[in-house]
Amino acid sequence: MASNSKNIFKEILKKEGLRYTQQRQLVWDELKNSHDHRDAENIYMCIRNNGLNVSRATVYRTIDVLVKNRLVRKMDVGDGRNRFEPRLNDDHHDHMICQNTGDIIEFFNEELEILQEKIANDLGYTVVRHVHQLFVKPLTK
């Protein structure tokens, strides 16, 4: 049901010893209702354009909690501001950024994931997290 993600959110706040507030719910709603890779300002403005009011500080503070608890993923495309995407069904994927259109294409390749873990192991490490971004251009036919 629609309230499932709300309950997950409430659980997390409880676990963190934080209170459930209107503002925190609004930020989470705004994030989970789009699959885009958006920056904090965009999330802030969308809430505001909806006639609701949550401060920038609260947007940032709430996103931190969401990222820490893996409900949201933080990413940096190299343009100086972080982007966020919801992560409801904890599926890992990496990104391809089209240099022509700015489109962000998601991809997942098991072989790649295994290979990078192997590379780390061979050097005496294990991968905790990783960033893999391909900046691409369309193939000319």
Partner DNA sequence: TTCAGGATGAGACTCATTCTCAATAAGGAA
Partner DNA sequence: TTCCTTATTGAGAATGAGTCTCATCCTGAA
Q: With binding defined as CB under 8 A, does residue 126 bind a second copy?
A: yes
Q: With binding defined as CB under 5 A, does residue 94 bind Zn ion?
A: yes
Burial environment of residue 128 by CB neighbours within 10 A (0 to 12, 13 to 18, 19 or more)? exposed
Q: What is the dihedral of CA 33, 35, 40, 46, to 10 degrees?
A: -40
Q: How far is the CB of 104 from Mn ion (least distance, A)?
A: 7
- Residue 106 binds which entry of Mn ion, DNA, Zn ion, none, with Cβ cut-offs from 5 to 8 Å by kind? Mn ion
Do 82 and 43 contact (CB within 8 A), yes or no? Answer: no
Residue type, 35: H
Q: Which is nearer to Zn ion, 19 or 90 (CB)?
A: 90
Do 5 and 21 contact (CB within 8 A), yes or no? Answer: no
Q: Which is nearer to Zn ion, 91 or 140 (CB)?
A: 91
Q: Which pair of tokens denotes residue 78?
A: 């190299």
Which region, judged by CB under 5 A, interacts with Zn ion, from 14-22, 57-65, 66-74, 91-99? 91-99
* Site of interaction with DNA (CB under 7 A): 13, 18-24, 39-41, 53-58, 60-62, 64, 80-82
Do 66 and 28 contact (CB within 8 A), yes or no? Answer: yes
- Residue 67 binds which entry of a second copy, Zn ion, Mn ion, none, with Cβ cut-offs from 5 to 8 Å by kind? none
Q: How far is the CB of 58 from DNA (least distance, A)?
A: 3
Binding residues for a second copy restricted to 37-96, rule: CB under 8 A: 76, 78, 96
Cα–Cα distance between 73 and 64 in angstroms, integer? 10
